[in-house]
Amino acid sequence: MTIVNESTALRRRLAELGEDRALSPYTGWNRQHLAVLADELLMAVRPYANATHSHILIPARDGRKISPIDGLEGFARSFMLAAFRLTGEKGNDPLGLIPWYSQGLVAGVDPGNPDRWPLPDEQPQAKVEAAALVVGLHLTRKWLWDHLDDGDQRNVVDYLARVIGTVGPNTNWVWFRLVVEQFLASVGGPYDDGEITADLQAHESFVREGGWYADGVTRAFDYYNSWALQLYPFLWLDMLDADHPDRSRFTAYKDRFDAFLSDAARLVGGDGAPLAQGRSLIYRFAAAAPFWTGALVETDVMSLGELRRAAMGTVKHFVDRGAPDERGLLTLGWFDEWPDLAQDYSGTGSPYWAAKGLLGLVFPEEHPLWAATEEPLPIERLGGVDWLQAPGWLLSSTTQDGIVRIYNHGTDHALPGNELSDVDVYAHLAYSTATFPLITKAGDPLPDSSVVVVDRNGHSSQRSGFELLSGGTDHETAFAFSRWRARWMDIAEGQRDYGNGFLGTNTYGPTLIVGSIIRREWEVRLTLVEPSADASVPVSVVVTGWPVTGQVEIDAEQATAASGVLRSRIVGLAGLPETGVQRSHDSTPLPGETGTPWVAVDAAEAGRWLIAASELSGVAPTIPPSVRIMGDRVTIEWPDGCVSTTSLPEPTGL
């Protein structure tokens, strides 16, 4: 079959629509633009389906083997998108989505079909896809499910019922079993009330401050809040009968969601960029899910115009930068294909989880969401700083350049004291909407946005398992401090990457206390090598700044890397006399070379604060802050004249 260049078709159709700046002054997109994107994504995968449509086998350019679970992922996740599209069109189906996906569904659950799907009790990933299937089946019930014959319905029920009795990670995965069993209950199939209750209780155990959820028991804060833990509760509630007692849970879920939503909106960059942090970033514009969810639950935290601005901006950010690709496909990558971004659980169909970023299509054309004029994002109205308690993040946003930055003293996908390897998308000290962390699969010796002790072999120490000491804000500045034992790991072989750190053998170094004090584009980063018997020998400490990727101009002497207007600079203010910039190639999914500025000292003196100032900015440079330490307090004069004083934590001497 000849494969049409769907991406070209997408751009052509979007160009034919033009921009709607009257209704959408920020993005130019309305519902038609979103519908065109969905339609082109759905049509682009069809040439990669098998004869019965049960498997959509997206090819892998890196040569990886395609398995049946990849085919199920391609089907289930694109079916979820088709269901959103059909719901908003009230079953109107010019693309023939219903017969196409009905055929694939019937074939996939047919136990006698050699191309049947992997079963949820024989392949754990099939349980994830079963949840996507039931979301689609629930939404399209009167157009698809109700028109299946009894035998086909029975096969679907038998397939889904394989979820009952299975166990999985105590994470967002609890929702996969839960929604599948709830759908089974809604169609008269088997289910286990005890398992539903247990899964709901597990979800409650993830609740943290400010409406956030941890993705399990560890400090795992990421987009699984946005596209899973904040979304599935409402999809599940919609499956319940009107008089079901569990409908009373709506109020608690919505209260948490509203609190989280106000934070999520502040994490979107002025260009629509999501924060480059956390696992499964190959899901791209699925990060828009909470803003559509806001419309679904009729939040009063954001207006419809604000919700649409945030969601459309996130989706359009990727479309404007080349996703989907020239074939019209979503690949393992960010803008372009870059397989190193994927975890080992990701297959070629995985990126279609991005469908959740198009959830807004469930709202028909006449819904008030589509008539509301776009309103500015929080960063487009007013920048500022804050302290997000649950993830342990300092937040800084600057309206002039549209950059959102977080400074991380609370998230590492681990627990205090855990001795796992650092995960690049969790354990660094800073992330932003304008940069991408170095992925150490590429072999760079220094991680970005970090404080490391470098051993005699040039290896950087690990941070995961750190202890949060303090954090807070007066809304002029914000601060946080954390402590950890520097260690170097010999990582054990044969481990799979599921987004958490690896196990290995550790060699230990000194204990570090590291603090971030922030205002606008600047972070003052303080580092103390704690006095101890182990710290009697001076150690080499390197403090790294933001990574800038693109056509990078580097000034090693000034520890500056710039690409266009974006600039990263780090200045040693006390005890860090050495400067440089690490050059990296193909170390992030962004195109181009990456420059990471650093300052360092070969022999750090224990008990003496090392001070650096790190800047990430897209506007004209300012002078660095000036810093003075008096006893247990640090006073900073910022470039705009603001003066702040912050208490320093006391060394433990451990």
Q: pLDDT, tens digit, for every residue of 380-422?
A: 999 999 999 999 999 999 999 999 999 999 999 999 999 999 9
pTM: 0.96
In this prediction, residues 579-603 reach a mean pLDDT of 97
Task: Quote the CA–CA distance of 160 and 181 in Å, as a whole number.
Answer: 8
Of 348, 380, 412, at which residue does a domain stop?
A: 380
Residue 536 — pLDDT band, cuts 50, 70, 90? low
Is the same domain home to 224 and 330? yes
In this prediction, residues 322-344 reach a mean pLDDT of 95
Residue 4 — pLDDT band, cuts 50, 70, 90? very low
Residue 96 — pLDDT band, cuts 50, 70, 90? very high
CATH number at residue 609: 2.70.98.70
Residue 3, pLDDT above cutoff 60: no
Cα separation values, 313 from 248, 268, 368, Å: 33, 9, 19
- Only one residue has tokens 């803008």, namely 335
Of 343, 365, 380, at which residue does a domain stop?
A: 380
Cα separation values, 125 from 118, 138, 330, 349, 630, Å: 9, 20, 19, 12, 56
Among 250, 195, 253, smallest CA distance to 229 is for 253
Among 544, 541, 560, smallest CA distance to 429 is for 544
Is the same domain home to 285 and 387? no
- Domain membership flag for residue 30: yes
- Per DSSP, 219 falls in state S
Is the same domain home to 282 and 402? no
- Domain membership flag for residue 315: yes
Task: Please write the tens of the pLDDT for every residue from 256-303.
Answer: 999 999 999 999 999 999 999 999 999 999 999 999 999 999 999 999
The kind and range of the H/E element at 431 are strand 430-432
Is the same domain home to 80 and 177? yes
How many CB atoms sit inside 10 A of residue 168's CB? 17
Is the same domain home to 213 and 86? yes
What pLDDT is stored for residue 62 in this prediction? 72
Residue 644, pLDDT above cutoff 90: yes
More confident residue, 537 or 191: 191
Task: Quote the CA–CA distance of 289 and 434 in Å, as a whole number.
Answer: 21
Residue 66 — pLDDT band, cuts 50, 70, 90? confident
What pLDDT is stored for residue 331 in this prediction? 97
- Domain membership flag for residue 532: yes
Is the same domain home to 204 and 265? yes
Residue 653, pLDDT above cutoff 60: no
Is the same domain home to 350 and 392? no
- Domain membership flag for residue 653: no
Task: Quote the CA–CA distance of 163 and 119 in Å, as a whole number.
Answer: 9
**CB of 563 closer than 8 Å to CB of 627:** no
**CB of 223 closer than 8 Å to CB of 286:** yes
Of 331, 356, 380, at which residue does a domain stop?
A: 380
Residue 9 — pLDDT band, cuts 50, 70, 90? confident
Is the same domain home to 546 and 423? yes
Burial (CB < 10 A; 0-12, 13-18, 19+), residue 631, is: exposed
What pLDDT is stored for residue 61 in this prediction? 74
What pLDDT is stored for residue 124 in this prediction? 96
Here the tokens at position 409 are 């003293």
Averaged confidence pLDDT in the chain: 96
Is the same domain home to 291 and 414? no
- Domain membership flag for residue 254: yes
Is the same domain home to 58 and 135? yes
Number of structural domains found in the chain:
2
- Domain membership flag for residue 535: yes
How many CB atoms sit inside 10 A of residue 104's CB? 26
- Domain membership flag for residue 1: no
Residue 7 — pLDDT band, cuts 50, 70, 90? low
In this prediction, residues 209-233 reach a mean pLDDT of 98
User: CA angle, corner 145, sides to 140 and 148, nearest 5?
Assistant: 145
**CB of 346 closer than 8 Å to CB of 284:** no
DSSP track, 467-517? EEEEEEE-SS-EEEEEEEEEEEEEEPTT---SSSPPPEEEEEEEEEEEEEE
- Domain membership flag for residue 652: no
What pLDDT is stored for residue 585 in this prediction? 94
Is the same domain home to 407 and 347? no
Range of the domain at 608: 382-647
In this prediction, residues 148-177 reach a mean pLDDT of 98
Task: Please write the tens of the pLDDT for every residue from 544-585.
Answer: 999 999 999 999 999 999 999 999 999 999 999 999 999 999
What pLDDT is stored for residue 1 in this prediction? 27
Is the same domain home to 366 and 400? no
In this prediction, residues 496-525 reach a mean pLDDT of 96
CATH number at residue 178: 1.50.10.20
Task: Quote the CA–CA distance of 128 and 135 in Å, as a whole number.
Answer: 11
What pLDDT is stored for residue 443 in this prediction? 63
